[in-house]
Chains A and B, each alone.
Chain A
């Protein structure tokens, strides 16, 4: 039932973000999809921006100096967080696809998210204090 209800269609687009009545599996699904879209957007932005490396040292270093402030650092931390949340949620998807922990998905999900959050905190501390 839950899988059916959370399966999106154009008319149900906003229901992805509607929190009431959603179970853990539904939240995992929304998390996977929202981070997927964010990471895809960032990936191609990242590739375009890296062209500054081909323009030489001053172009690249000037750009890095420009983004070296708390606002952009927070943005970068969001990307790092999305990567680890998507990756660790993905580990659950791969494991269960191959028959591992299928009946204990909720525990697996919470455990993996806990590890992801610890890693994100370590990155956050490093990025804001280094």
Chain B
């Protein structure tokens, strides 16, 4: 068995840049999602568990920026990953084009919605 078979590489049909983005966003997510989970479960007595807790947490301007960065990173990683799984099912070129558009739209809508939501919450504490 050669080394190339043992390590991650772009699948057939997977754009090398998309694969690279997936590989680079991974470690970033370990950090950002790690912070997200620790904050949400370990702050205070039971974690961030009320509306007031969340609004208070978002008062620090670093937090909305961090949460939006997490969202954009996790959405990108999840959609490229989902596309990779779909590529394993060997879709036709037409089907793949449709899937690419659907995934791109899901990504844009999710991140836009998340930015709006983060700004709404941040404005409540202002």
Chain B nearest CB, measured from A7 CB (Å): 7
Q: Which B residues between 76 and 126 are near A, CB-CB below 8 angstroms? A: 78, 81-82, 85, 88-90, 106, 110, 113-114, 117, 120-121
Tell me if A36 and B89 are in contact (CB < 8 A).
Answer: no
Tell me if B54 and A127 are in contact (CB < 8 A).
Answer: no
CA distance A57 to B56 in the complex (A): 13
Chain B nearest CB, measured from A93 CB (Å): 5
Beta-carbon nearest neighbor of B81 in chain A: A36
Beta-carbon nearest neighbor of B33 in chain A: A83
| Contact residue among A57, A60, A96 (Cβ-Cβ distance under 8 Å from B7) | A96
CA distance A105 to B8 in the complex (A): 12
Tell me if B47 and A40 are in contact (CB < 8 A).
Answer: no
Residues in A lying within 8 Å of B, measured CB to CB:
1, 3, 7-10, 25, 33, 36-37, 39-40, 43-44, 47, 50-51, 53-54, 56-57, 60-61, 64, 68, 80, 83, 87-88, 90-91, 93-94, 96-97, 99, 102, 105, 123, 126-127, 130
Residues in B lying within 8 Å of A, measured CB to CB:
1, 3, 5-9, 23, 26-27, 29-30, 33-34, 37, 41-42, 45-47, 49-52, 54, 71, 74-75, 78, 81-82, 85, 88-90, 106, 110, 113-114, 117, 120-121
